[in-house]
Every structure is written in C-alpha cells, then in structure tokens.
A = this chain, B = another copy of it.
Amino acid sequence: MSINLSKFGFIKRDTPRDINLDPLQTGGVLTPEARHALQEWGDEYSVCDYCGGALDEIKTPPIYDFVHKALPEFLGCDHVRITNGAREAKFAVMHSICKEGDWVVMDGNAHYSSLVAAQRARLNVKLVEKTPAPEYKITLEKYAQAIEEVKRETGRPPALALLTYPDGNYGNLADVKAISRLVHDNGIPFLVNGAYAIGRMPFNAKELGADFVAGSGHKSMSASGPIGVLGVSEEYAPIVLEKSKTHKTKEIELLGCTARGATIMTMIASFPAVYERARPENWQKEVENARWLSAQLENLGLRQMGDKPHNHDLMFFEAMPLYEISQKTDRYFLYREMKARSIHGIKPGLTKNFKISTFGVGREKLGIVADAFKEIIKKYNAC
C-alpha cells in the first residue's frame, strides 16, 4: 500500500491574514454565529433529522422560513432555492431554460464560471464587448449590438441574457435596469449574476428587472460553502424548479437536494449580520472606504481601472510603480512584503495588475494597507 497517510489528517492554515483583501474571501469570512454553527451542524445531513423529503420544507431548523420567507424578501424574488453555489444556480437556469445549441448573450466581464456553465449546457455564447481600458464598461449600446448579432446570425433572439452585477474583475456596476428593459423588449429572459452583490449591497431582483438571480453564500453571505442562492420569478419557476415525475418532492435541477448541513446553517447563522451590512447606509460606508483607498493608491502612482468614482469594494489596479520595482528585484517582492505585514489577498507574483476588495476591512486597517504600499514603494525606490 503506497499511500502516505501522514500527509493528511488535520492541517494548519498558515496564511497570515490579519488584514484580508482577497476579493474571493472578504465577503465570505464567517461571523461568530456562523463559526458556532459550524461546530453545531458540521456533521452532514444534520438538518435532515426532521426532513419530510424536501430541504426547503424543513421546519426544524427553520429552513422553510429562511428559504420561503426571508430570502425572497431579501432578494426581491418570488421563489428562492439553495444551491451549491452561484455557478450551480446559473447552470440550473441555463440547463432548464435553454435547449442545446441555443444562444446566450453575456457581458464581456462575465465570470469564467458563466462561460463554463454555458459550455456544460452546450449553448453558444455571444459576449457583449466591453469598452477599452481603463473603464471596461458594459454599455447598453454594446449589449443591444450583441443581441442584434445573434438575431441576424440565427434568425431569432438569444434564449437567455446574463449580466454580471458587479463583475469580478473591475467591480463595475452596469446600468442593469436599462439592460433588463432592452433584454425584455427583445423577449429574452434575464439572469443577473449577483455573486459579488447579494449579501454585500442592496439588491432587489424585481427592481433590477431580473427573471433569475444567482448569489454566492461563500463569496458574499459569510457562509461556509459551497453554497449559493437561486432566485426565480413566478413566471419561470415551473420550468427551473420542475419536480421529478417519479419522486414528487424532488426538484430536478437541484438533483433533489443541496445544502444539508453546515453550509445552510452557517448561512442562516450569518443572515442577521448579512442583512444588516447590506442596508443602503452601511453599504454606502463600504463604497466610501473603497474610494478612499483608491485615492490613496492613485496618489502613489497606481491607477484604478473600471468605474470611477467607484461604486463597489472590488477594485482592479494597474500598478506601474510596483511593476518597475519587480523588474529590478523579482516578481514576488510585493507578495513577500505584504505577507510580512500580514496583509493577504494579492496573488503571489502579481505586481503590474491586481485586484483587491475592501469589503468589511474598515478604515483603520485600510490605513495600514495604504501605509504599507507607501513604505514598500519608498523602500525599493531608495535602493
């Protein structure tokens, strides 16, 4: 037997991260309540003690109230279900709403998982061109152009349109209401990928004009994943949430059941805090913090790309002063310097372009981050 078992068992996570700027992680850091729930419900199938055959119908613990009352109100959706993540929610929509060979239009800033979900559903993708650097915006005009191209090439409108709101590269918030009107005027159902919105900022599917929304528990709702939310309008619920003919409590696109333990219970545990932080007045403070850091870093010669003034905590920087230092030293200097300061989130090896998130970090720690960039640039330029 050749397995070296000593490599496995409990393993420590040794990433220093007193300050975490990782866009993947800032909105998923567990609340104390979620951390407590992990221990209580970590054994899987723990929520199934009183299950009558459908996860969303479980009364004890209060999953029914969460899925059928709290989340529809929170998302502004008629129906909500729990999925294994935002990508699984997007695939469920694409797979149920479209047929193989159909076309889906999506913004040129779409997350890779939207493309891979479309590929898994065997759809053709038409990407909406983004504007050039530095803004990388998705405009109504280009969105309309993409729809027209599909109509011209195939003789009919695309089967689905998707918008990433905001996108995960630049944190840009497109004019979703105008795009939804355009999409609906063309008779196309509209999916909003809100993986970086739902749980961070005010979000209402009906106000945005979305027929479907996908959210991420581990990205933005302080839940231990994999877990996501899928919102569906009354009109499309019979298709997306169709039940099995042989197993009448089981929804086909969810393969009958999804989050049966720690994932749903950490989402529920964090929900009061998540609800609170996504209020307009609290979100506004997050936006101000992001803009403040952006201004500090631009003063050091970095350049924030995307929407400006920025409207989201996720920001992309072009950092020529740091790139120039890397040419004199090595490409890992920034990672090493940040790690030494317990600042996590810029990928090892990146200097010229990187993205960070300021979500939940707070002004005091962002001050430490700004000082760190200043010190590092000064240190290497003095060499």
A252 adjacent to B120 (CB under 8 Å):
yes
Q: Give the A interface residue count (CB, 8 A).
A: 91
Given A62-B7, A268-B8, are A13 and B38 also a contact pair (CB < 8 Å)? Answer: no
**B5, B46, B95: the one within 8 Å of A272 (CB):** B5
A3 touching B244, Cβ below 8 Å: no
11 A–B pairs (Cβ distance < 8 Å), ordered by A: A10-B40, A30-B42, A34-B42, A42-B266, A44-B223, A45-B225, A85-B255, A112-B256, A119-B252, A225-B262, A226-B261
- Count copies of this chain in the complex: 2
Which residues of the other chain, B, contact A314 by a CB distance below 8 angstroms? none
What chain B residues lie within 8 Å of A246 (beta carbons)?
112, 115-116, 119
Interface membership of A165, Cβ < 8 A: no
Quick one: CB contact mask for A236-275 with B, threshold 8 Å, 1 for yes?
Answer: 0000000011110010110111111111011011011001
Given A11-B268, A62-B8: A1 in contact with B73 (beta carbons within 8 A): yes
B256 and A87 within 8 A (CB): yes
Pair B42/A244 contact, Cβ less than 8 Å: no
Check A344/B3 contact, CB under 8 A, given A113-B256, A225-B44, A247-B116. no
A191 CB, min distance to chain B CBs, angstroms = 15
Judge whether A35 and B42 touch: CB under 8 Å. yes
Known: A44-B226, A84-B226. A9 touches B261 (CB 8 A): no
The docked-state distance in angstroms from the alpha carbon of A99 to that of B5 is 40
CB distance from A24 to the nearest CB of B (A): 4
Cβ-defined contact, A218 with B45, below 8 A = yes
Known: A7-B65, A87-B257. 14 other contacts (CB 8 A): A2-B73, A8-B271, A10-B269, A11-B37, A11-B268, A12-B40, A22-B48, A44-B217, A85-B255, A113-B255, A116-B246, A116-B247, A225-B260, A225-B263
Q: List the B residue with the shortest CB-CB distance to A279.
A: B1
The answer to whether A247 touches B115, judged by C-beta atoms less than 8 angstroms apart, is yes
Instruction: Give complex CA distance A66, B218 in Å.
Output: 23
